[in-house]
Amino acid sequence: MTREKVRNAFNETMIAELRGAFEKLGADPGVRAIVLAARGPAFCAGADLDWMRRMSTFSPEENRRDARSLADMLRTIHECPKPTIARVHGDAYAGGMGLVAACDMAFAAIGAGFCLSETKLG
Protein backbone atom coordinates (compact mmCIF):
# COMPACT_ATOMS: atom_id res chain seq x y z
CA MET A 1 0.00 0.00 0.00
CA THR A 2 1.38 3.37 -0.95
CA ARG A 3 -0.87 6.09 0.47
CA GLU A 4 1.65 7.21 3.07
CA LYS A 5 0.23 10.74 3.48
CA VAL A 6 -3.02 9.28 4.84
CA ARG A 7 -1.34 6.42 6.71
CA ASN A 8 -2.45 3.99 3.98
CA ALA A 9 -6.10 4.55 4.82
CA PHE A 10 -8.27 2.98 2.16
CA ASN A 11 -10.84 4.58 -0.09
CA GLU A 12 -12.85 3.23 -3.00
CA THR A 13 -9.82 3.35 -5.31
CA MET A 14 -7.52 1.47 -2.97
CA ILE A 15 -10.24 -1.10 -2.27
CA ALA A 16 -10.63 -1.78 -5.99
CA GLU A 17 -6.86 -1.91 -6.50
CA LEU A 18 -6.32 -4.36 -3.64
CA ARG A 19 -9.10 -6.62 -4.87
CA GLY A 20 -7.73 -6.53 -8.41
CA ALA A 21 -4.17 -7.22 -7.26
CA PHE A 22 -5.18 -10.24 -5.16
CA GLU A 23 -7.35 -11.61 -7.98
CA LYS A 24 -4.54 -11.23 -10.50
CA LEU A 25 -1.77 -12.56 -8.26
CA GLY A 26 -3.97 -15.37 -6.96
CA ALA A 27 -4.53 -16.59 -10.53
CA ASP A 28 -0.87 -16.28 -11.58
CA PRO A 29 0.79 -19.73 -11.60
CA GLY A 30 4.19 -18.11 -11.09
CA VAL A 31 3.19 -16.57 -7.77
CA ARG A 32 3.77 -18.75 -4.71
CA ALA A 33 2.66 -16.33 -1.96
CA ILE A 34 1.44 -12.76 -1.61
CA VAL A 35 2.80 -10.34 0.98
CA LEU A 36 0.62 -7.36 1.87
CA ALA A 37 2.89 -4.55 3.04
CA ALA A 38 2.83 -0.78 3.21
CA ARG A 39 5.06 2.25 2.85
CA GLY A 40 5.27 5.06 5.34
CA PRO A 41 4.80 5.16 9.11
CA ALA A 42 1.67 2.96 9.30
CA PHE A 43 0.45 -0.31 7.88
CA CYS A 44 -3.14 0.95 7.50
CA ALA A 45 -5.21 3.46 9.45
CA GLY A 46 -8.50 1.97 8.26
CA ALA A 47 -10.93 4.00 6.18
CA ASP A 48 -9.90 7.35 4.73
CA LEU A 49 -11.83 10.07 6.60
CA ASP A 50 -12.36 12.11 3.40
CA TRP A 51 -13.92 9.04 1.79
CA MET A 52 -16.14 8.56 4.84
CA ARG A 53 -17.25 12.21 4.65
CA ARG A 54 -18.20 11.72 0.99
CA MET A 55 -20.07 8.54 1.92
CA SER A 56 -22.23 10.51 4.36
CA THR A 57 -24.03 12.02 1.36
CA PHE A 58 -24.56 8.67 -0.38
CA SER A 59 -27.99 7.18 -0.86
CA PRO A 60 -28.79 3.93 0.96
CA GLU A 61 -28.14 1.98 -2.26
CA GLU A 62 -24.79 3.74 -2.80
CA ASN A 63 -23.82 2.92 0.80
CA ARG A 64 -24.76 -0.74 0.28
CA ARG A 65 -22.72 -0.87 -2.93
CA ASP A 66 -19.73 0.71 -1.16
CA ALA A 67 -19.99 -1.70 1.79
CA ARG A 68 -20.26 -4.63 -0.65
CA SER A 69 -17.10 -3.47 -2.40
CA LEU A 70 -15.17 -3.45 0.88
CA ALA A 71 -16.56 -6.85 1.86
CA ASP A 72 -15.71 -8.28 -1.57
CA MET A 73 -12.12 -7.00 -1.28
CA LEU A 74 -11.68 -8.61 2.14
CA ARG A 75 -13.28 -11.84 0.89
CA THR A 76 -10.96 -11.87 -2.13
CA ILE A 77 -7.93 -11.67 0.18
CA HIS A 78 -9.35 -14.28 2.57
CA GLU A 79 -10.25 -16.74 -0.21
CA CYS A 80 -7.11 -16.17 -2.29
CA PRO A 81 -5.76 -19.52 -3.50
CA LYS A 82 -2.19 -18.43 -2.67
CA PRO A 83 -0.89 -18.02 0.89
CA THR A 84 -1.34 -14.42 2.01
CA ILE A 85 0.92 -12.72 4.52
CA ALA A 86 0.38 -9.35 6.22
CA ARG A 87 3.71 -7.64 6.98
CA VAL A 88 2.63 -5.14 9.64
CA HIS A 89 4.63 -2.17 10.84
CA GLY A 90 3.36 0.90 12.64
CA ASP A 91 -0.38 1.04 13.21
CA ALA A 92 -3.03 -1.36 11.93
CA TYR A 93 -6.23 0.34 13.01
CA ALA A 94 -9.90 -0.38 12.31
CA GLY A 95 -10.17 -1.66 8.73
CA GLY A 96 -6.40 -2.13 8.74
CA MET A 97 -6.97 -4.91 11.25
CA GLY A 98 -9.52 -6.32 8.83
CA LEU A 99 -6.80 -6.54 6.19
CA VAL A 100 -4.54 -8.36 8.65
CA ALA A 101 -7.34 -10.73 9.67
CA ALA A 102 -8.16 -11.53 6.03
CA CYS A 103 -4.61 -12.80 5.44
CA ASP A 104 -3.52 -16.34 6.25
CA MET A 105 -0.57 -15.19 8.36
CA ALA A 106 0.64 -11.95 9.89
CA PHE A 107 4.05 -10.83 11.03
CA ALA A 108 4.26 -7.65 13.06
CA ALA A 109 7.28 -5.47 13.76
CA ILE A 110 8.11 -4.71 17.35
CA GLY A 111 6.08 -1.63 18.24
CA ALA A 112 3.27 -2.31 15.77
CA GLY A 113 -0.06 -1.11 17.14
CA PHE A 114 -3.45 -2.75 16.72
CA CYS A 115 -6.76 -1.05 17.52
CA LEU A 116 -10.44 -1.49 16.73
CA SER A 117 -11.19 2.19 17.36
CA GLU A 118 -14.73 1.98 15.99
CA THR A 119 -15.79 -0.17 18.94
CA LYS A 120 -15.53 2.95 21.12
CA LEU A 121 -18.25 4.67 19.04
CA GLY A 122 -21.15 2.41 20.07
Residues with catalytic annotation?
Answer: 118
Q: Please tell me the distance from the alpha carbon of residue 106 to that of residue 13, in angstroms, as a whole number.
A: 24
DSSP lists the bridge partners of residue 115 as 93
| 3-state secondary structure at position 52 | helix
Report yes or no: 44 and 96 within 8 Å, Cβ to Cβ.
yes
Residue pair 18/59 in contact by the 8 Å Cβ criterion: no
